[in-house]
């Protein structure tokens, strides 16, 4: 069987955690089986359409590395790949269901439906259409349509028996037909509903696997019955486990719950490589102790068998840990490019200054990246490299500068700097040994004194990095404010 998967987002807003994970798993299933990954835009809900959202979807998916072989922008044999451009096709298939007796025209007004819905609510019952239009024959329906009466096309659900389908993750699932509503297939504006468009599109695009969140488990028997009415085989259904909030409530993570959009994660300085890795583990187990995977490694190792039935938890602590690991292991040039906007926004440098001093910024980022979990934290750690003077950060630092040895060390270090043309590797390696030999001062009294007078802190980057980054002139200025 040729594997053909599709990611079908709606252009109604930004990509959130659920979108990213669905796109990733859909992509990985296709790659694992050397199949075709398809992008389809589901824009049948025109009321919620957001201008520019389609272009944003393209940009985000490309940024993540999820390359599609068929889609609105690249074409393919089964297009168009935007639902609003397939309107005639949906009507054609809906009329086939009317002709076979599996669907009917419904002329109920919105007022009647609202009244019916209120009655159900008053009795604490789940709303179901009462099927009053099921008995309208073809002649009456045609006449009412001719007279301009608004209508929708509904599917005629069986009222007895059960419907079952096999879920790749959850196994065989069975539902009572009496609990299935007569879903709308075509709305009064002629556009299909999500429920119907999916069936038609997945069939006509020859989709082999449908990957979606398990909130659609109870809707799938409706799709199954539509497939059955056409005499078609339903694709393999892969329902992904829910992603829950990290608060232990067991509630689903929602779009409004903090940093759950792709953009919000990027804005805080989470790396796309870490985001992909983290999302892959939200419901999938690699079957070993290793949890760090590049996208290429995920393509090779991913398996549907590793998808869990149990809910995943959006663990912010784990995401932070994983992102910090990626910040440390990725190429410093790459991390520097990503860090510059945060440094500029924090007011340390202008954009042009950052471009002119990129090599120096690379040293700064390299010195502090081991202490950050996401790049928005970079500004918190780089203040020691800016400004002509520093202030001891706490009592511990202040106490170091008032010891008997401090003036001796500071003066000796300043003299060493004044006798060189620039800070070299040789100077960095030998300066502390020379001062120790000349003054007899060693250990904390030597190293910590120089650290505090140069940075105001007792802890931070390694001393060789500090000396290299600050340079001769800035260090002399800082030392000069303490000892003349």
Give the pLDDT of residue 288: 86
18 found inside a domain: no
CB hemisphere CA count around 180 (13 angstroms):
28
pTM of the model: 0.92
Q: What is the pLDDT of residue 248?
A: 73
Instruction: Write the DSSP string, 253-283.
Output: P-TTSSS-BHHHHHHTT--HHHHHHHHHTSS
Same domain for 91 and 215?
yes
Residue 247's pLDDT is 76
Specify the 3-state DSSP secondary structure of 92: helix
Is residue 198 domain-shared with residue 216, that is, in the same domain? yes
Q: Is residue 430 part of a domain?
A: yes
**pLDDT at position 170:** 96
Would you please indicate which residues are annotated as catalytic (active-site) residues?
255
Question: What dihedral angle (degrees, nearest 10) is formed by the CA atoms of 274, 279, 285, 288?
Answer: 0
334-359 confidence digits (pLDDT tens):
999 999 999 999 999 999 999 999 99
Is the same domain home to 117 and 191? yes
CATH number at residue 359: 1.10.8
Tell me the per-residue pLDDT of 197-245, one tens digit each, with 9 for 90 and over: 999 999 999 999 999 999 999 999 999 999 999 999 999 999 999 999 8
Does pLDDT of 481 surpass 80?
Answer: no
Instruction: Report residue 154: phi and psi, to 5°.
Output: -110, 150
Q: Which residue segment(s) compose the domain that 219 sits in?
A: 86-240
> Looking at per-residue confidence, does 203 or 15 come out higher?
203
Q: Looking at the structure, do residues 341 and 319 belong to the same domain, yes or no?
A: no
Q: How many domains does the chain have?
A: 4
* Residue 473: CATH number of its domain: 1.10.10.350
- The answer to whether residues 104 and 230 belong to one domain is yes
Give the CATH number for residue 325: 1.10.1160.10
Task: Specify the length of the chain in residues.
Answer: 484
């Amino acid at each position: 069987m040729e594997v053909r998967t599709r990611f079908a987002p709606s252009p109604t807003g930004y990509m959130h955690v659920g979108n990213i994970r669905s796109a990733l798993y859909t992509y990985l299933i296709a790659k694992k089986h050397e199949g075709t990954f398809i992008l389809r835009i589901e824009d049948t809900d025109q009321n919620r359409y957001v201008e520019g959202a389609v272009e944003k979807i393209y940009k985000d998916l490309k940024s993540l590395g999820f390359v599609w072989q068929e889609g609105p922008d690249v074409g393919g044999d089964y297009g168009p790949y935007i639902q609003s451009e397939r309107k005639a096709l949906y009507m054609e298939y809906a009329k086939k269901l009317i002709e076979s007796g599996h669907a009917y025209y419904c002329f109920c007004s919105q007022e009647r439906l609202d009244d019916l819905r209120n009655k159900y609510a008053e009795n604490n019952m789940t709303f179901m259409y009462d099927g009053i239009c099921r008995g309208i024959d073809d002649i009456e329906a045609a006449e009412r349509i001719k007279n301009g009466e608004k209508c929708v096309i509904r599917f005629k659900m069986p009222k007895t028996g059960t419907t079952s389908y096999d879920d790749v993750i959850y196994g065989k699932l069975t539902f009572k037909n009496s609990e299935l509503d007569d879903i709308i297939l075509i709305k009064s504006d002629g556009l299909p509903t999500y429920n119907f468009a999916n069936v038609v599109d997945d069939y006509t695009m020859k989709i082999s696997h449908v990957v979606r969140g398990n909130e659609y488990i109870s809707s799938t028997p409706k799709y199954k019955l539509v497939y059955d009415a056409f005499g078609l085989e339903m694709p393999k259904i892969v329902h992904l486990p829910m992603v829950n909030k990290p608060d232990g409530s067991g509630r689903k993570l929602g779009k409004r719950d903090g940093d759950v959009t792709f953009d919000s994660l990027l804005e805080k300085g989470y790396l796309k490589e870490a985001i992909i890795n983290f999302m892959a583990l939200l419901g999938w187990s690699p079957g070993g102790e290793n949890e760090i995977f590049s996208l290429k490694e995920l393509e090779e190792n991913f398996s549907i068998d590793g998808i869990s039935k149990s809910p995943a938890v959006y663990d912010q602590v784990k995401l932070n840990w994983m992102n910090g690991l990626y910040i440390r292991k990725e190429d410093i040039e790459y991390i520097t490019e990503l860090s510059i906007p945060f440094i500029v926004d924090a007011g340390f440098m202008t954009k042009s200054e950052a471009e002119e001093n990129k090599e120096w910024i690379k040293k700064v980022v390299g010195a502090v990246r081991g202490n950050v979990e996401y790049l928005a934290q970079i500004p918190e750690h780089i203040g020691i490299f800016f400004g002509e003077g520093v202030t001891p950060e706490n009592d511990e630092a202040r106490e170091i500068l008032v010891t008997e040895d401090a003036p001796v060390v500071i003066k000796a270090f300043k003299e060493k700097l004044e006798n060189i043309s620039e800070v070299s590797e040789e100077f960095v390696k030998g300066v502390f040994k020379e001062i120790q030999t000349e003054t007899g001062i060693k250990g904390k009294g030597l190293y910590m004194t120089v650290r505090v007078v140069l940075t105001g802190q007792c802890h931070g980057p390694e001393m060789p990095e500090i000396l290299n980054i600050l340079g001769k002139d800035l260090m002399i200025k800082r030392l000069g404010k303490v000892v003349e």
